[in-house]
Amino acid sequence: MEGIKEKKVVIYSEAFKRKVVEEVTSGEISQTAAQRKYGIGGKMTVKKWLERSERMGKDKENKQETVEKELAEIQKLKQEKRQLESALAQAHLKIISLEALIEEVEEHYGEPVKKNLSTEPLNALKKAEKKE
So what's the pLDDT on residue 41? Answer: 82
- Residue 131 to residue 8: CA distance in whole angstroms: 102
pLDDT digits (tens, 9 = 90+) for 97-131: 999 999 999 899 888 877 665 556 666 666 666 66
Whether this model's pTM surpasses 0.85:
no
Low-confidence residues of the chain: pLDDT under 70 = 1-3, 115-132
Helix (H) or strand (E) holding 58: helix 45-109
What letter does residue 104 receive in the DSSP assignment? Answer: H
50 and 24 in contact (C-beta within 8 Å)? yes
Q: Is 27 left (phi over 0), alpha (psi -120 to 50) or beta?
A: left
Count of CB atoms within 10 A of residue 36's CB? 11
So what's the pLDDT on residue 2? Answer: 63
